[in-house]
């Protein structure tokens, strides 16, 4: 009898703070001379017997199907145990998993996670995930995980920003997550205010401890209170196809996030050709953390994938005021080099009844390429992000962070071309490049156009110095501002970040580091009106504007 125990990382999704070990998913695999069968014992463990004849057949074929382990695929019978058993056997024997052609797999509310560690082809099979009655809303349906185990590197007591090498001998390339619990960053301001999160960073180091400087360390760590190294799998794992439908929960509208999803917790993964739809949304419901959630990993690509924005519900926030709850179909947290390529969504990207589709925290090197989605968003910071060949909807581009933010060959329909999130200090420590783009303010509704949005009073401590982009370069931008109010003076480079700062008498307790230079080349407007600095020219009086 083989007791096959699968460990995986569980994480908090949108306000992620630290890695914690999840409860092990236990599968007991036997090979008795009995028929192949799957059942659950009194302790909730999945018991799988694979007859020697079937085991030989599966290994010879190099693959297994869900029907081999009893999945009905009739759209009514709960198939999650059979699905989890199939993956457990495949993981143990390094076999490919394939869904049965034409099958519809119903997945009810049982707490059971199917752990994927081998290539998986969902094909054209349908999966119905019923969230109307669930035992554990935080339990993923599928988890793409590594068989490699995390460990704690010894003797790393401190780190410096942009440090090129750490003092550690590693078994190979590793994803390093480091925390200083004594320093708080991202102290949120506004209706969803909080006391911040422990200083966290994530980076890749090779076996000699050399840091990948394309995703550098972004903080000084005077003290390291926790550090974890997660070995990076050398082989790329592929998850392809699948037609998933979530029957939405009907829970109370409060911040009890549902994570009944596909969680990617392994580096070097490609998700290709997946579709996700949502049905059954009513006048209330709890929010979703993302159908595809990518955390604690690097080098992940999601491509040729169809997603769905979730209906927006409201609740009472931390400040005692009504707030719209963020609810997502994709989320990324503590992850590096994550790309979304040729992805779109089923609902109108400009329909404001649906929340923006992406949220992210603690990420580096995020990419949208050839995407049509309602939003790009970086909550608790991104280091380097690129949006190209894409169309973004009503929630546009929202980001704070550092490094280089590039937007090129894209159409943006947000309130501003780029919004620097005010709840995290409207900070971007680095450069901003906008090339060959079209900006449609508020998707063509009557609006006064501003390119760079944000708000900063100088009265709140966010846990870091706040910066505007040091240099902004805008080349070949068309502003479709024909639909504007009667008193419209023309598009502004900057919105009015602080209406109270109108002369030198205003005191910023936490000074804002303003933009030094804006370079403009071939910026045109549908209104025929010229670009101007801001409704608050005093605040930006020292910004150098260079025109070609």
Q: Please say if the pLDDT value at position 410 is more than 80.
A: yes
Q: Is the pLDDT of residue 194 over 70?
A: yes
Residue 26 has what pLDDT? 78
3-state helix, strand, coil in the chain (%, to 5): 5, 45, 50
Q: What is the maximum span of the chain, computed from C-alpha positions, in angstroms? A: 86
pLDDT at 12: 29
pLDDT digits (tens, 9 = 90+) for 59-69: 999 999 999 99
Pairing of β 492-494 and β 532-534:
parallel
pLDDT of residue 408: 98
Cα(first)–Cα(last) distance of the chain, in Å?
A: 75
Residue 317's pLDDT band, with cuts at 50, 70 and 90, is confident
Model confidence pLDDT, tens digit, residues 446-465 = 999 999 999 999 999 999 99
Q: Helices 52-61 & 80-93, crossing angle to 10 degrees?
A: 70
Q: Mean pLDDT score of the chain, rounded to an integer?
A: 94
Q: How confident is the model at residue 9 (pLDDT cuts 50, 70, 90)?
A: very low
**Tokens encoding 486:** 């009667």
- How far, in Å, CA of 133 to CA of 80, rounded? 15
| Cα-to-chain-centroid distance, residue 137 | 19
Query: Is the confidence at residue 116, as pLDDT, over 90?
Result: yes
Please report the pLDDT score of residue 15 as a whole number.
38
Instruction: State the pLDDT confidence band at 25, using cuts at 50, 70 and 90.
Output: low
Q: What is residue 238's predicted lDDT score, i.e. its pLDDT?
A: 98
Tell me, rounded to whole angstroms, the distance of Cα 505 from its chain centroid: 42
Q: Report pLDDT for 319.
A: 85
Task: Measure the CA–CA gap between 340 and 372, rounded to whole angstroms.
Answer: 10
% pLDDT > 90, the chain: 92
pLDDT computed for residue 6 by the predictor: 42
Statement: residue 383 has pLDDT above 90: yes
Instruction: Decide if 413 contacts 387 (C-beta within 8 A).
Output: no
The 10s digit of each residue's pLDDT in 519-540 is 999 999 999 999 999 999 999 9
- Average pLDDT of 126-152? 97
Residue 346 φ then ψ, to 5°: -75, -30
Taking the C-alpha atoms of residue 248 and residue 286, their distance in angstroms, rounded to an integer, is 9
Whether the CA torsion 464, 468, 470, 474 is positive or negative: it is positive
Tell me how far apart the alpha carbons of residues 419 and 495 are, in angstroms, rounded to a whole number: 10
Residues 377, 403, 173, 177, Cα dihedral to 10°: -60
Phi, psi of 547 (to 5 degrees): -115, 150
Residue 250 is encoded by which pair of tokens? 């009907």
As a whole number, mean pLDDT of residues 473-500 equals: 97
* Mean pLDDT value across residues 125-140: 97
**Those residues with Cβ within 8 angstroms of residue 294's Cβ, 6 or more apart along the chain or in another chain:** 264, 300, 302, 330, 331, 332, 333, 335, 338
DSSP state of 258: B
The DSSP output letter for 210 is B
Q: State the DSSP H helix or E strand holding residue 382, giving kind and residue range, or none if neither.
A: strand 380-388
* CA 207 remoteness from chain centre: 28
Residues 6+ apart with CB under 8 A from 199: 179, 180, 181, 183, 184, 185, 219, 221
Task: Report whether pLDDT(11) > 50.
Answer: no
Give mean pLDDT, residues 153-168.
Answer: 95
What token pair was written down for 289? Answer: 């953390």
pLDDT confidence bin for 13, thresholds 50/70/90:
very low
Q: Which of 390, 388, 366 is nearest to 377 (CA)?
A: 366
Percent of the chain with pLDDT over 70: 95
Sign of the torsion formed by the C-alpha atoms of 134, 149, 115 and 237: positive
- Give pTM, 2 decimals: 0.94
3-state secondary structure of 456: coil
Q: Please state the rounded mean pLDDT for residues 196-215.
A: 97
């Amino acid at each position: 009898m083989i007791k096959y125990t699968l460990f995986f990382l569980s994480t908090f999704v949108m306000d992620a703070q630290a890695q914690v070990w999840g409860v092990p998913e236990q599968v007991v695999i036997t090979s008795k001379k009995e028929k192949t069968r799957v059942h659950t014992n009194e302790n909730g463990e999945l018991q799988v017997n694979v007859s020697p004849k079937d085991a030989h057949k599966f290994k010879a074929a190099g693959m297994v199907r869900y029907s081999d382990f009893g999945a009905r695929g009739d759209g009514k019978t709960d198939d999650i145990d059979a699905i989890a058993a199939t993956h457990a056997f495949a993981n143990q024997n390094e076999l490919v998993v394939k869904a049965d052609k034409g099958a519809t797999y119903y997945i009810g509310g049982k707490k059971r996670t199917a752990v994927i560690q081998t290539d998986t082809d969902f094909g054209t099979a349908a999966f119905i995930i019923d969230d109307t009655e669930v035992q554990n809303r935080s339990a993923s349906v599928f988890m793409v995980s590594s068989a490699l185990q995390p460990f704690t590197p010894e003797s790393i007591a401190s780190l410096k920003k942009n440090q090129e090498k750490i003092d550690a001998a590693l078994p190979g390339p590793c994803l390093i997550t480091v925390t200083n619990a004594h320093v708080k960053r991202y102290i949120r301001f506004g209706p969803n205010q909080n006391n911040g999160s422990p200083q966290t960073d994530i980076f890749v180091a090779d076996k000699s401890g050399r840091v990948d400087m394309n995703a550098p360390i972004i903080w000084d760590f005077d003290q390291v209170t926790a550090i974890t190294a997660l070995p990076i799998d050398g082989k790329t794992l592929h998850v392809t196809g699948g037609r998933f439908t979530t029957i939405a929960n009907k829970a109370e509208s409060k911040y009890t996030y549902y994570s009944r999803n596909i969680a990617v917790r392994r580096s070097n993964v490609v998700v290709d050709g997946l579709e996700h739809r949502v049905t059954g949304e009513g006048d209330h419901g709890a929010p979703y953390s993302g159908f595809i959630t990518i955390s604690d990993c690097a080098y992940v690509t999601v491509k040729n994938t169809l997603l769905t924005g979730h209906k927006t519900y409201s609740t009472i926030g931390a400040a005692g005021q009504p707030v719209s709850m963020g609810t997502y179909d994709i989320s990324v947290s503590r992850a590096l080099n994550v790309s979304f390529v040729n992805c779109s969504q089923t609902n109108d990207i400009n329909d404001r009844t649906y929340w923006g589709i992406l949220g992210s925290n603690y990420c580096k090197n995020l990419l949208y390429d050839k995407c049509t989605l309602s939003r790009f968003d970086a909550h608790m910071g991104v280091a380097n992000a690129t949006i190209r060949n894409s169309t973004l909807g009503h929630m546009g581009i929202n980001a704070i962070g550092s490094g280089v933010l590039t937007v090129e060959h894209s159409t943006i329909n947000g309130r501003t071309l780029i919004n620097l999130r005010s709840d995290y200090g409207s900070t971007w420590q680095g450069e901003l490049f906008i090339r060959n783009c079209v900006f449609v303010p508020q998707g063509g509704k009557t609006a006064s156009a501003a390119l760079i949005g944000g708000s900063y009073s100088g009265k709140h401590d966010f846990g870091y110095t706040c910066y505007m982009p040091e240099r902004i370069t805008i080349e070949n931008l068309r502003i479709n501002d024909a639909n504007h109010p009667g008193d419209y003076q023309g598009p502004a480079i900057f919105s009015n970040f602080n209406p109270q700062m109108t002369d030198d008498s205003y005191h910023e307790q936490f000074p804002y580091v303003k933009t030094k230079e804006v370079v403009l080349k071939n910026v045109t407007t549908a209104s025929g009106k010229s670009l101007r600095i801001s409704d608050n020219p005093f605040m930006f009086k020292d910004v150098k504007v260079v025109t070609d």
